[in-house]
């Protein structure tokens, strides 16, 4: 049971479900429904929103780090990205 007056905060993708109303263009809604069916729309929107928020938070973190330590070395970034995609750092350097 929640304590009255205590503001509990959840990270994106966590916490109890909450019913809200959102509006989409007809084309967007139909594309989502075609992909996931009538009963999958909420889950699809939740997951897409969590991904978008995660990307925004990561971008903000990168900005803070670069402000403190200077820009990232783009060659090193390419090498690490290649590893994350299942390649090798050597393959990134050859590109």
Residue 88: its pLDDT value, please? 73
Cα gap 46→38, rounded to integer Å: 14
Give me the pLDDT at residue 35, please.
97
Domain boundaries, the chain: 26-94
pLDDT digits (tens, 9 = 90+) for 14-51: 999 999 999 999 999 999 999 999 899 999 999 999 99
12 by Cβ neighbours in 10 Å (0-12 / 13-18 / 19+) ranks as middle
Q: Kindly tell me the number of DSSP H helices and DSSP E strands found in the chain.
A: 4, 0
């Amino acid at each position: 049971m929640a304590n009255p007056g205590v503001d509990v905060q959840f990270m994106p993708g966590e916490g109890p479900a909450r019913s809200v109303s959102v509006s989409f263009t007809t084309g967007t809604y139909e594309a989502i429904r075609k992909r996931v069916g009538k009963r999958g729309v909420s889950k699809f929107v939740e997951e897409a929103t969590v991904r978008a928020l995660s990307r925004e938070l990561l971008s903000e973190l990168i900005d803070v780090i670069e402000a403190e330590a200077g820009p990232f070395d783009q060659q090193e970034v390419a090498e690490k990205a290649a590893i994350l995609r299942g390649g090798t750092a050597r393959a990134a350097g050859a590109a």
